[in-house]
Structure 1
Amino acid sequence: MRHLIAAAATLCLAAPAFAQDDEGPFVDFQTLKPEVALEMAQAALQSCREAGYQVGVTVVNRFGQPQVFLSDRYAGVHSYETSRRKAWTAVSFRTSTTELAEATKAGTISSGIRDLTEALPLGGGLLVNAGDGSIVAGIGVSGAPSPELDDECAEDGIAAIEMQIAF
């Protein structure tokens, strides 16, 4: 039963799919170059460091595969798993993990998502969209004193590369 609830919730939370050009057997997609993913992760780490937080930052590609992980000197050992899962969750559900946390509270129709192994509906995971709105990556930050502060550092990371991806 939980699997059905999780599947239904996934369908409810996923962004609507729009009709695309069906000519040809291939699809085109974009993802960040590793150098750009690294630049974003470094900017997020620096943002948290300047605020006095020791964090881990993971950038995943649009398919949830890790591209970059950076850990500050005294970041908690949990920050690798947590930041990776936050980034993965953002791209998997096509929403920020803060929004997903709200949508999956106990008693909601989507609460079953919290039972999935990798999903982590806890603030600090954001989508990275190109200028045309397509998903090109996800970023997850873990280790600041609150999920909202993790979000702020992730936002600063995205802002650092915004002009490169706003085409």
Structure 2
Amino acid sequence: LRGRYAGAHTPTTARRKAWTAASFRLSTTELAEATAEGTSLSGIRHLEEAIMLGGGLLIDGGGFSVGAIGVSGAPGGDLDDLCAQAGIDAIEDDILF
């Protein structure tokens, strides 16, 4: 989905957020902190598909990671995180094993 006023970059950014969360098994907000400049993990920020902006969350089902969701387009990563969590909450009953 894309909101009427969301920029053209948002679908690609959302996909990259989901990919990043799934690849590193952490939310993109947590990764942004863990890979800050000067940390031993800062080089991760230079991977081609990785993006360290809020809005990428893991989807857990039955205690296992079953995927990830990426949201982009809200005015700030914290709001993208809230939207992503709302999406996960909406399908929670469908992903429980």
Superposed pair shares fold, TM > 0.5: yes
Q: Which residue in 2 is equivalent to 1:81?
A: 12
- Give structure 1 stretches of 5+ with no counterpart: 1-69
In structure 1, distance between residues paired with 2:19 and 2:95: 20
The partner residue of 1:134 within 64, 70, 73 is 64
**Deviation digits for residues 58-117 of structure 1, max 9, x if unmatched?**
xxxxxxxxxxxx212221111011101000000000010000000000000000000100
Alignment partner of 1:137: what SS? strand
Where do 4+ consecutive residues of structure 1 move more than 3 Å?
A: none
Bigger CA radius of gyration: 1
Q: Which residue in 1 is equivalent to 2:28?
A: 97
- Structure 1 vs Structure 2 CA RMSD: 0.8
Q: Which residue in 1 is equivalent to 2:51?
A: 120
Alignment partner of 2:57: what SS? strand
Alignment partner of 2:53: what SS? coil
The partner residue of 1:148 within 78, 86, 93 is 78
The normalised TM-score by structure 1 is 0.56
The normalised TM-score by structure 2 is 0.95
- Give structure 2 stretches of 5+ with no counterpart: none
1:130 maps to amino acid? G
Deviation at 1:166, TM superposition (A): 2.3
Number of residue pairs matched? 97
